[in-house]
Amino acid sequence: MHQPHEPTPAPSGASRPAAGPRVLVVDDDPTVAEVVSGYLDRAGYRVDRAGDGPDALARAAAHRPDLVVLDLMLPGMDGLEVCRRLRDRGPVPVIMLTARGDEDDRITGLEVGADDYVTKPFSPRELVLRVESVLRRTRPAGPAGPLAAAGLAVDPEGRRATKHGVELALTLREFDLLAFLLRHPGRAYGREDLMREVWGWDFGDLSTVTVHVRRLRGKVEDDPARPRLIQTVWGVGYRFDPTGDHDPTGDHEGTGRE
């Protein structure tokens, strides 16, 4: 099992809130779990730890976490299955820890509902920043009115989305992506733009955006194989078309700049 960089805990900083968000750290490597937990604790989070999938599910049921840091490679029940079961119980942000180079596993993790991933070996400080970024996205930055188009309705403050009145089961990033697209109808955005505007990152694996667009299409399109609302703009990226006018050139994901 890879270990994170910076194995020596950082010095304690300023005093932290007594009751910050609860983070569940799931990793069968006690050294990794201890270092990650230490950094999160000093950053002001309440931390629970689990060494395997069943323990993680039991702890999540006993004390619902605000976010889960989940190792992909766990003994017995792997991280993908744990993520699926957590998502079945309700929306909870998940950051997946994966081995460097396992691109297929990372994409699979995103497809089962992970909101972000960090590759091992990693910097615990970077992981804390990712946790802060994901949790920040769960709280509206300020008052925001409801959005509606093409039978879709989004309530940013209540973080609820519906299609023709039926509530959609969206992950954290899927919700943010849909809300962003509804705010900017008719405008084409590249994957780099979406990563910066929706994820808040100036760098990262652009396949993250591609996977989330595909998952979102599967939930909002009548026929995800022939998307009418979230269209591919070749050589650019994606565009939300509230009219639902079909663009036959944008049926499928392609390669290149989009």
Q: Residue 159 CB: number of other CB atoms within 10 A? A: 17
Place of tokens 């993520």: 83
Q: Provide the pLDDT for residue 249.
A: 46
Fold classified for 147-250: Arc Repressor Mutant, subunit A (1.10.10)
Would you place residue 116 in the very low, low, confident or very high pLDDT band (cuts 50, 70, 90)? confident
Question: In angstroms, what is the C-alpha Rg of the chain?
Answer: 19
User: Rounded CA gap, 185 and 205, in Å?
Assistant: 25
Mean pLDDT of the chain: 82
Kindly report the pTM of this predicted structure. Answer: 0.64
Given its phi and psi angles, is residue 9 left (phi above 0), alpha (psi -120 to 50 degrees) or beta?
A: beta
The string of pLDDT tens digits covering residues 13-38 is: 334 444 689 999 999 999 999 999 99
Fold classified for 22-137: Rossmann fold (3.40.50)
Q: Provide the pLDDT for residue 15.
A: 40
3-state class (DSSP) for residue 111: helix
Query: Looking at the chain, which residues constitute the CATH 1.10.10.10 domain(s)?
Result: 147-250
Give the single-character DSSP code of 8: S
The string of pLDDT tens digits covering residues 220-257 is: 999 999 999 999 999 899 999 998 765 544 444 443 34
Query: Looking at the chain, which residues constitute the CATH 3.40.50.2300 domain(s)?
Result: 22-137
The string of pLDDT tens digits covering residues 151-187 is: 999 998 888 999 999 999 888 889 989 999 999 999 9
